[in-house]
Structure 1
């Protein structure tokens, strides 16, 4: 067991997005084995216990106290990292305050800036309902980044918002672009004619990025939160979002992205779209629907959703950049041994994990997963892989007490090195998501571990989708080039990456 040091900053509340960024930087400091930078809520204390970072000082912290716990082998380096973390908290906060005005409450913010029309809530889940309701009472749209809000409270918020023709995005809404302003995790997407409503954050990022790369863009991307399409909630935000986009003059096409909701929600969505005088595309991943008309279509995959949306709105050809040649794919197939047959997928979120399973199922292949298409193939996220296995590394078991895998690659890198030791594995399939909120150089994280993996098994092929646009801060071209230089087969579409992985492994 390493040395642990704890610092509790009394009454220093910071939101979870802010703390995730600090946590990521601290864990990269010299001598740090692991770290927790979070508020002292009871839920977070449980996460600290699970991570082995719960200390006596942390136990005494209150929900408004900021707790920093750092573990490492060398005590002096741990203490140094603790000071570094403290400086980051105040330095980053100072920088943000210099570029934005701070207020003590939603009411005070609205009183000084009455033109505010949307409030982003990023508090511990137990406080999110209260703050969201305060915003709704002031007639403001709401995005709730926070998770762990009970379904019954989510429904109360959304029904109240519906009555006032307001949006409640979330809880657990990670992505939105409203009025050209990105919220949460988002890509820099050109303005264009497509309006998107989605209960799948990564799915929104995939489709909007593909539209951008093909030369189109969006009017808005409304993230509903994954629970919205459950029958308990009834798709309230999904339906409100469709109605808002239907009356938006610049929105020419409405696109809907989600894991399969119940048949009831699908039928209700279709009923609404039939009343809208605009083309619409529905991609309920894995749901096999028949087109309703020439202007209301079901898309089979995320790439299909982007393509059909593009074709409704543009006269030119839908064309994506080609980063990998057929020759490179053939060489990858030729390099495999006769015993290599299986795919191991390591994904930053559930949407691409789910889509990959669906694409595999169309070829008669069922994959094991912690987020399975077929519950007979369910395994735990930390269980050993068997045969074809795809893992959602954004699932709760991986993000307790640490940043999202779009930011922190530790579990993915550990898992990759484990997977290549299996001599029956043909392909390691993974995604990299660019944009604001994500790791600022994700390709370098994966290239580092791929080099190690090749020293263990030089026969395995690596296939990746890079989800992003040319205007994302990481630099799309730079990220792709790093991966290509490491011998990775790279695609702009998660759909195409899964199809190529199948072509190689099941040759």
Structure 2
């Protein structure tokens, strides 16, 4: 959606008049909405300006105000803002902040750089769903969470599928959206849906995948990306990839979108296999989903990460990892899975503790199954501050809201993760570090560069081993070969999958008491 004009703008008075002093300022733009991608683009630009330590552009919803406060970026001016207002939060010198504020209007007025083929200057851009072409079949919704449900319901009632990228949507509203979609015979993907590929059109964070015969359904964005890229590397392609949002398989939501997507793919003659990807569903929901999958006319692979919650049945194969999901899918299709990977020899660092610093939340969850006692949160990064690492294993999802306040997601902006990597490399307690590098549409142009730059600053003999894996295809804008090469040149050890990297790291740190995460592969003829 396009930014709406701002009615007024207000600035806080500087807390210090010294030209070199660093202070925090909020500029509130009344009744001004901007698309989240435009806000991330603007924040990234402002953060790169000389003298700016931190920049965040967010709507003044309660969750966003809490995030700004936690990051030390909220002032009294911002606290007084209303949910419909846009807050520009900056920390830096007086001159730098003044200059940055002057740039904000032009940044928000910039048109999106990624346009569809055939679009041109002068085309009418709808500012409301009712202005869209009646032939439009899908709406992508990326408004602040409190407003997303209303827009999704409008889209569904106009006969459009809804891809809801927005997060912070109340659970009751998600249930209402999905009930309405089911009544209309449409799909409600999300809220908080990061990945889909429909009829060859990528939505959100998606890789450039070859077309094929596999349909994927997932309550996990990066999980879908990992599995689809592994299938692509093995020569298989994707028919459809339907994201559901992370709460779809909860007891409250009841897998409404997952079940609707199963019906859709089961009826599609071009789909030969269905793959489900999710963190562990609620037990009753897992039973319902697997019961429906067992009635399908085609085989199903269900990757429910973590402990088993339901038994396999019919032509349903249940696996416990992302790696095994891809291998099972290839086996079912009589394709040849890649040979089992054996990690090369590597010596742990001086310390005893693993530092797993993920951009993908599903990868962090997968690693936590091996290290259930690991610390999963540290104090959010503050520019100029120290990052305190625990004297225990650490598995972080740096795409969590706690770490993105004031900055874009680490798949777009590597600043926060690079700071955590710097701290881990210099921490004498670190035995090994794990990193994911996720490519594709929506990701940064060179995700490996900032991480490799941190490795280049520390001689290999003076740092712990860094284990990395790349999620992507060679057709992605960034290219897997170039990204893997840059990491290898910097001395990173490369694993083929998230599962392999986690198991390798745990074994390297001597913490393999819980066994490999890929031990479950249950099939039944029902």
Range class of TM-score, shorter chain: 0.7 to 0.9
Offset from partner CA, 1:31-70 (integer Å, 9 cap, x none) = 2100112234454344333333334654565544443333
Which structure 2 residues correspond to residues 417-428 of structure 1 after superposition, within 5 A? Answer: 417-428=422-433
Match of 2:128 in 1: 105
Question: 1:94 and 1:305 mapped to 2: Cα distance?
Answer: 35
Match of 2:4 in 1: none
Offset from partner CA, 1:395-421 (integer Å, 9 cap, x none) = 232123421121222332222222233
Match of 2:451 in 1: 446
Number of aligned positions between the proteins: 481
Match of 2:363 in 1: 352
Contact 1:431 1:464 in 2 (8 A): yes
Question: 1:497 and 1:356 mapped to 2: Cα distance?
Answer: 9
Which structure 2 residues correspond to residues 196-275 of structure 1 after superposition, within 5 A? Answer: 196-275=216-295
Match of 1:318 in 2: 337
Which structure 2 residues correspond to residues 402-481 of structure 1 after superposition, within 5 A? Answer: 402-454=407-459, 458-481=462-485
Give me the TM-score of the superposition, normalised by structure 2: 0.84
Contact 2:286 2:310 in 1 (8 A): no
Contact 2:44 2:413 in 1 (8 A): yes
Contact 1:33 1:71 in 2 (8 A): yes
Question: 1:102 and 1:310 mapped to 2: Cα distance?
Answer: 43
Q: CA separation of 1:11/1:87 partners in 2, compared to 1, >3 Å: closer, same or farther?
A: same
1:2 deviates by 1.1
Match of 1:374 in 2: none
Query: 3-state DSSP class of the match of 1:282?
Result: strand
Which structure 2 residues correspond to residues 36-435 of structure 1 after superposition, within 5 A? Answer: 36-55=56-75, 58=78, 62-73=82-93, 75-93=94-112, 98=120, 101-109=124-132, 113-288=133-308, 292-293=312-313, 295-313=315-333, 315-319=334-338, 329-330=344-345, 332-333=346-347, 336=348, 339-358=350-369, 360=370, 366-370=372-376, 384-435=389-440
Question: 2:444 and 2:340 mapped to 1: Cα distance?
Answer: 23
Match of 2:517 in 1: none
Question: 1:366 and 1:386 mapped to 2: Cα distance?
Answer: 15
Match of 2:16 in 1: none
Show structure 2 runs of 5+ residues with no match: 1-20, 381-386, 512-526
Query: 3-state DSSP class of the match of 1:227?
Result: coil
1:82 deviates by 3.0
Give me the TM-score of the superposition, normalised by structure 1: 0.87
1:20 deviates by 1.4
Show structure 1 runs of 5+ residues with no match: 372-378
Match of 1:376 in 2: none
Question: 1:421 and 1:283 mapped to 2: Cα distance?
Answer: 37
Contact 1:367 1:390 in 2 (8 A): no
Match of 2:514 in 1: none
Match of 2:495 in 1: 491
Question: 1:396 and 1:40 mapped to 2: Cα distance?
Answer: 15
1:130 deviates by 1.0
Q: CA separation of 1:320/1:490 partners in 2, compared to 1, >3 Å: closer, same or farther?
A: farther
1:380 deviates by 7.0
Query: 3-state DSSP class of the match of 2:185?
Result: coil
Question: 2:433 and 2:37 mapped to 1: Cα distance?
Answer: 30
Matched, 1:14 2:34: yes
Match of 2:6 in 1: none
Match of 2:506 in 1: 502
Q: CA separation of 1:320/1:200 partners in 2, compared to 1, >3 Å: closer, same or farther?
A: farther
Question: 2:113 and 2:475 mapped to 1: Cα distance?
Answer: 27
Contact 1:258 1:283 in 2 (8 A): yes
Query: 3-state DSSP class of the match of 2:216?
Result: strand
What is the RMSD of the two structures over their aligned residues, measured on CA atoms?
Answer: 2.7
Query: 3-state DSSP class of the match of 1:500?
Result: helix
Query: 3-state DSSP class of the match of 1:355?
Result: helix
1:5 deviates by 5.3
Question: 2:168 and 2:245 mapped to 1: Cα distance?
Answer: 12
